Amino acid sequence: MPAKRKPKLAVWKFASCDGCQLSLLDCEDELLALTGAIDIANFVEASRVVVQGPYDLSLVEGSITTPHDAERIHQVRRVSKHLVTIGACATAGGIQALRNFKDVKQLVSIVYATPEYIETLNKSTPIADHVSVDFQLQGCPINKHQLIEVISAFLNGRKPNTPAHSVCVECKRRGTVCVMVAHGTPCLGPVTHAGCCALCPSYNRGCYGCYGPMETPNTASLSDWWSHLGVSEDGLVRAFRTFNAYAEPFRKESESHEE
Ligand code: SF4
Ligand code: SF4
Ligand code: SF4
C-alpha cells in the first residue's frame, strides 16, 4: 500500500520581526511529533529546502507595507488551501502601523538618508485587508501552545479551540490578584484577547494589550476607569497605540482621545 501523503505546511514572512515564526521553532517538545504528521515544506527561517506548493496550510507572519508584498500575498493565497495569519503584525498591521496615523512621506524623509530608494505603501495593513483568511491567531508574539492547537485543528478538519475572552478571565483562573483593584495600576486586560495566561499581572504589572482586542471589547468603559486612575487623554492615546494600534477597536478608542 502506498504511504499516505503528509499534509504540506508553509510559513511566509511579510513585514515583521520573525518572533512569531520563532514560536514554531520554540515548540521543541512538540516539533518531532509535528514533523511526523506534516511535511514542513516551505519555512526559509528554518531550512533552505523549499518544496513547491500547493500547500495544505500556510502560516503568514507580518503586515503588508510595500507594493511588492501587496502582490505577493495573492500568490501565497493562490497556493494555499488554508491560510492562517499569526501575530499582531499579520492580524492588525503590527507596531509598524503607527505610521498609519501620520504622513508616511514625512517619516521616510526623517528616517532615511536617501528617501528616494524607499518604495512603501502609505499604510501598514493586516493580511485580511488583502486576501481571505481562514483563521487569525493573535499575539505579539503568539502563544506556541495555541499555534500547535491551530495547526492540529486544520490538519484534522476542525475549528481551532482558542478562547476569545479577555485576559481578566485568565487572571481569575490562575488566582492572580487584580493589579487595578489592588493598587490602581492601569491594565488593558479587560479589553485584551486571552492567550498569554495573564503573564504581566502575574508579575504585578498591568497588561499593555499585546494580544490585541478581545471579541466585543468595551474600550470606552475601560478608558473611563483609567481616567479615574489619573491617566490623561494623551496617556490613553498612547496606551491603545502599541502593537495592535490599527486593530479597529483600539484604533477607534485612541482616536476618540486625540485633541
Ligand atoms: S507580532 Fe510581534 S513577535 Fe510576531 S512578528 Fe510581529 S512584532 Fe514580531
Ligand atoms: S489585573 Fe488586569 S487582567 Fe487581571 S483581572 Fe485585573 S484588570 Fe483584568
Ligand atoms: S501585555 Fe497583556 S496580553 Fe501581552 S503578555 Fe502581558 S498580559 Fe498578556
* Ligand 2 atom nearest 201 alpha carbon: 1
What is the Å distance from ligand 3's center to 140 Cα?
9
Q: Please check whether residue 253 is in contact with residue 202, taking contact to mean a CB–CB distance below 8 angstroms.
A: no
Instruction: Check the CA dihedral 181-186-192-194 and report its sign.
Output: negative
Determine if residue 195 is left, alpha or beta; phi over 0 gives left, psi from -120 to 50 gives alpha, anything else beta: left
Q: From first to last of its 259 residues, what are the pLDDT tens digits of the chain? A: 666 788 999 999 999 999 999 998 888 788 778 888 888 889 988 888 898 989 999 999 999 999 999 999 999 999 999 999 999 999 999 999 999 999 998 999 998 999 999 999 999 999 999 999 999 999 999 999 999 999 999 988 999 999 989 999 999 999 999 999 999 999 999 999 999 999 999 999 999 999 999 999 999 999 999 999 999 999 999 999 999 999 999 999 999 999 7
* Ligand 1 atom nearest 95 alpha carbon: 7
What is the Å distance from ligand 3's center to 94 Cα?
15
Residues with CB under 6 A from ligand 2: 167-168, 171, 178-180, 187, 189-190, 198, 201, 207
Q: Residue 209 CA: which ligand is closest?
A: 3
The tally of CA atoms less than 13 A away on the side-chain side of residue 129 is 18
Q: Rounded to whole angstroms, what are the CA distances from 58 to 33, 53, 61, 84, 109?
A: 19, 10, 10, 6, 36
What is the Å distance from ligand 2's center to 16 Cα?
29
Q: Please check whether residue 74 is in contact with residue 58, taking contact to mean a CB–CB distance below 8 angstroms.
A: no
Using DSSP, state whether 129 is helix, strand or coil. Answer: helix
Q: Please state the pTM of the whole predicted model.
A: 0.94
Shortest-distance Cα residue to atom 2 of ligand 1: 140
Shortest-distance Cα residue to atom 6 of ligand 2: 178
Q: Please check whether residue 39 is in contact with residue 86, taking contact to mean a CB–CB distance below 8 angstroms.
A: no
Task: Return the best residue to mutate from 207, 222, 240 for the ligand 3 pocket (most ligand atoms within 8 A of CB).
Answer: 207
What is the residue whose three cell numbers read 476618540?
256
* Ligand 1 atom nearest 17 alpha carbon: 8
Beta strands in 43-169 (DSSP E): 55-61, 80-86, 135-137
